[in-house]
A and B are shown apart, each in its own frame.
Chain A
C-alpha cells in the first residue's frame, strides 16, 4: 500500500526540495488557522439547539452576555420573532459557558429570531425551512366505498404524519356535480377528534341535518342527496405538525344511495369457513360497508372455553368484509364470532339500535355482544 499525501506518494514528498516543503508547511498552517477560526467563530456565534427535527432552543455564547449573568442566567437577554415588539417567553439557563434560551414552543421553521442583550442586538438566527422530503401524504379516506348512504355520519382521514390541528374545515370540501362547494356540510367541532398520534381525524357530517325531526334537518334537509354524485376534496394547504404542506390534493368521488335506517345484523353475514389443521382465513362478508375503525376493534373469535383465538383481522378495501387469519392452525371444534354491539355501519346505526331511533317503536333489549356460532369439522 502506498500512502498518499495531497495526491502524491509519500516517497515523492520526501524527495521535495526545501522551498517546496516550506510552501507545503505554509499551506498546512493556513488550513489549520482557517479551521480553528471557524471553530472559534462557532463558539462565539448564536446557534440553534435541536431536539430531533425541531429547533427547541437558542444557545448564546457567554462572551456575548457578560455581566449580570453570574447571578441570573438570561438577565438582560431578550429574544424576538423577526423584528417584533413582544419579547418571547421562555426559560434561560447555563449550558457550560453559554446561556441556553428555551422558548415555550419549538421555534418556527423559516423564521428569523433576534437576540438582544441590554436592548442591543447581539445576533440573529434563522430556523431553516423543513425538508420537503418529509411532506405528509393523505394515505386513506374512509369509507372507501364508491356508493354511500345519504345519512352518512362520518369520514376518517388517515395521514402519513402528525398534522396541524384545528385546520380540518379550512382544507376539507365537499363539491357537487357542478364542482360547487357545499356549505355547512361538516360539524365544526373543536377540539377536533384526532387519534393519539394525530395521524387519523374523524369529521362528522352535521348530525343536526341528519337526525330526523331536528330543526336543521327540517329546514336544510339531509346534507347528501340521494342519486347525486359528490367529490370530497382535501387541499394541499393543510400542513403537518412539522410545518410542511400535504404533497398533493386528495380527491374522492362517490355516489349517494338511499337512507340506511337499519342496524347491521351479524346473523345475516356470510361466513366462509376454513379447513381444520390449516392457517386458512375465516372469511366474513358483512352485506354492507361498516365503520373502518370500529370493525377493526369489535370482532373476535372465541373457542369452546371462551378463550380468544389469536390471529389478525384484516378488512377488505371497501369495508364490506374481513378475513380472520389465525396465528395457529385451526382445530376441529365449535367457535363463536363475537361482535361488540357498538360496531356501526356508515350511518351510525349500531347492532343494538339505529342512529335516530323511533321511540314509538318498542326497543329490544340491548346486548354487549352478538354472537355467531360456527363449527369446524375434522
Chain B
C-alpha cells in the first residue's frame, strides 16, 4: 500500500514538473518572473507591457487599473531622492529606467532598477509614490530569443540574439520590441500580436542606416513610436547614432527584410531617449528627448513632405527640419494627454524633478 502511494506521488510530481516545463509562455501566470524592467508601455485595458532584458522576455501585466482618471499634472521635486528614500537607499544606487502613463487612469508608472539589478515598479497617484507588487499581478509573457526556425534559413533574416531591450511600443494590436545585441552593432525589431498566442508571428528585421547616399551600416534602434504619415502607418525610429528613420508598419512581417528611410540626422554625439507623438490643433508633432541635445520637436507635415530615400543624400545637416525646444536634460518622457507631457528632467541646479509640461512649454 505504502509503495503504491509512493509511486503515485512520484508520478503526480513528475506530471506537475512536466506540465511546468512544458507550459506555453503565453499562459496566464504572474509577473513574479520579471527580473529586470528595461522598458514599459501601456496596451489596451490597463495592460502594462514590461520589456525584461535579463530574461529577454516581454510580460503583459494586468494592472487592473481600469478606472478612467483625469490628466492632472504631476509635480514632484527631487523625484530621484524621493524614490531612493522610499527604497531605503541613496540616489547613486538607483536608475529610473522608464516611465509610462496609463492612458485610462492617467496614473504614472515608473520603472526603477537598483544597482544590484533588482527591478522595482512604482505608481504615482496624487504625487504620492506607491509600490506595485509584480508577484501579485496576473501576466502572460513571450520569450524573444525563441526565434522562429525560418529566420535561420537565410542570412539576412537571421535572428539577432537579444541581450537588451531598448524600447517597446503597442500599436494596432501588436507589440513592437526593439532589441539590442551585446556583440553586434545592430538591432531587431519584432512585431508580436497581442494577446500572445501559440503561433508567434515575429518579424526579425535588420535595420540599415545609409549616410550621404554612399555608406550603409547597421545600427541599433534606441527608441521609437508609431505614426500615420501620408495615410500610412509607420514606425518612426531613432538610432543610437542619431538618425530618424521611417519603416512602413505593413512591411513588418515574419521573415521580411525591411530597409528604413532615413529622413533626418538629429545631431552628433547624442543618443535619443524617448519619443512621443502629440496632437496640437490640427497638426501633429513628434517630440524626442535626447542625452545631450534638447528635446526636439518635428512637425509630421515636414516628414510627409520629405521624400528623400535611403540611398539619396540627406540634404544639409538635418534632412527634415526640427525645432530644439528649451527643454534640456530630459531623462524620461511620456504623453499625459495631447497637450501635456510628463517628464523627469535634470534641472540646471542638478535637481531631478518630475513635472508636467503643457503646450505653452512645448
In the complex, are the beta carbons of A207 and B240 less than 8 A apart? Answer: yes
Assess A166 versus B115: contact at CB under 8 Å? Given A88-B85, A153-B185, A211-B211: yes
Please measure, in the bound complex, the distance between the C-alpha atom of A104 and the C-alpha atom of B110, giving whole angstroms: 14
A128: Cβ under 8 A from any B Cβ: no
B88: Cβ under 8 A from any A Cβ: yes
In the complex, are the beta carbons of A193 and B241 less than 8 A apart? Answer: no
B140: Cβ under 8 A from any A Cβ: no
Q: How far is the CB of B296 from chain A (nearest CB, A)?
A: 15
Which of these, A184, A243, A348, contacts B185 with CB under 8 Å? Answer: A348
State the main secondary structure of chain A at its contact with B: loop
Query: Inside 8 A of B216's CB, which chain A residues have their CB?
Result: 356-357, 359
In the complex, are the beta carbons of A108 and B210 less than 8 A apart? Answer: no
Chain B residue, CB-CB nearest to A297:
B183
In the complex, are the beta carbons of B88 and A103 less than 8 A apart? Answer: yes
Please measure, in the bound complex, the distance between the C-alpha atom of A360 and the C-alpha atom of B211, giving whole angstroms: 12
Which of these, A90, A193, A215, A352, contacts B164 with CB under 8 Å? Answer: A193
- Surface stretch bound by A, among B264-272, B276-284, B354-362: B264-272
In the complex, are the beta carbons of A193 and B163 less than 8 A apart? Answer: yes
Query: Inside 8 A of B315's CB, which chain A residues have their CB?
Result: none
Query: Inside 8 A of A216's CB, which chain B residues have their CB?
Result: 241-242, 268-269
- Surface stretch bound by B, among A79-87, A92-100, A264-272, A326-334: A79-87
In the complex, are the beta carbons of B163 and A165 less than 8 A apart? Answer: no
B29: Cβ under 8 A from any A Cβ: no
A59: Cβ under 8 A from any B Cβ: no
Chain A residue, CB-CB nearest to B220:
A189
Query: Inside 8 A of A162's CB, which chain B residues have their CB?
Result: 116-117
State the main secondary structure of chain B at its contact with A: loop
In the complex, are the beta carbons of B116 and A294 less than 8 A apart? Answer: no
B230: Cβ under 8 A from any A Cβ: no
Please measure, in the bound complex, the distance between the C-alpha atom of A356 and the C-alpha atom of B291, giving whole angstroms: 25
B156: Cβ under 8 A from any A Cβ: yes
Which of these, A105, A342, A350, contacts B89 with CB under 8 Å? Answer: A105
Query: Inside 8 A of A368's CB, which chain B residues have their CB?
Result: 152-155, 158
Chain B residue, CB-CB nearest to A84:
B85
Q: How far is the CB of B1 from chain A (nearest CB, A)?
A: 37
Contact with A along B208-225 (1 / 0, CB 8 A): 011111111101001000
Which of these, B114, B116, B181, B291, contacts A188 with CB under 8 Å? Answer: B291
In the complex, are the beta carbons of B182 and A193 less than 8 A apart? Answer: yes
In the complex, are the beta carbons of B241 and A211 less than 8 A apart? Answer: yes
Query: Inside 8 A of A164's CB, which chain B residues have their CB?
Result: 93, 115-116
Chain A residue, CB-CB nearest to B85:
A86
Which of these, B90, B122, B154, B182, contacts A108 with CB under 8 Å? Answer: B90
Chain A contacts with B in 182-200, Cβ cutoff 8 A: 184, 187-196, 198, 200
A239: Cβ under 8 A from any B Cβ: yes
Please measure, in the bound complex, the distance between the C-alpha atom of A315 and the C-alpha atom of B93, giving whole angstroms: 37
Chain B residue, CB-CB nearest to A86:
B85
B197: Cβ under 8 A from any A Cβ: no
Assess A105 versus B182: contact at CB under 8 Å? Given A89-B130, A241-B115, A359-B215: no
In the complex, are the beta carbons of B155 and A90 less than 8 A apart? Answer: no
In the complex, are the beta carbons of A195 and B215 less than 8 A apart? Answer: no
Other than the given A54-B116, A89-B122, A165-B115, 13 more pairs (CB < 8 A) read A88-B85, A104-B120, A164-B93, A166-B113, A190-B273, A196-B163, A204-B185, A204-B240, A207-B219, A216-B242, A242-B116, A348-B185, A357-B216
A-B contact pairs, 19 of them (CB 8 A): A81-B89, A86-B82, A91-B133, A106-B114, A108-B93, A164-B116, A166-B95, A188-B292, A196-B163, A200-B182, A202-B182, A206-B269, A211-B215, A213-B215, A216-B242, A341-B155, A357-B217, A359-B216, A368-B152
